[in-house]
Amino acid sequence: MDRERSDNKLDDWLDQAMAEYAKVEPEPGIEARVLARLHSRVRTRFWWRRGLRPIWISAAAAAFLLVAVMLFKTPDKPPAPGPATASDQELLLGVDRLLQKRVPAALEPALVLTREMVKKP
């Protein structure tokens, strides 16, 4: 029975505390401050979402154009050299002169072949 009384007393005390808490009026202007804060957050989110969209679209378009220009622009190539005017004999003599210099062992067969080709018939 004591337990029931203490539980009832506790319930009564909590009910009384809640009733007094509900009677308290909020500070003046609190509704206006809460609404102003909510409004500023909504405005910030709106600007963040909507305000940056044109910037992102512009940046994406510029990047696309840059890539397109880089892909389709061909670099200037130097003109191809014209046909050689020297005769085959002159070319072989030039190769022979080059081979007269110190020749590695791997190029000795080419040296012999060039000398044979240079000989006049």
Residue 63 has what pLDDT?
95
| Number of residues that make up the chain | 121
- 62-71, pLDDT tens digit by residue? 999 999 888 8
Residue 49 has what pLDDT?
59
What predicted TM-score, i.e. pTM, was given to this entire model? Answer: 0.28
Nearest to 113 by CA among 97, 96, 88, 94: 96
56 alpha-carbon distance from chain centroid: 14
Token look-up 């130097």 returns 78
**How confident is residue 60, by pLDDT bands cut at 50, 70 and 90?**
very high
Residue 44 has what pLDDT?
58
- 87-117, pLDDT tens digit by residue? 777 777 877 777 677 767 777 787 778 778 7
Instruction: Report domain extents, the chain.
Output: 2-72, 88-118
Token look-up 């240079």 returns 118
**CA 112-115-119 angle, 5° bins:** 145
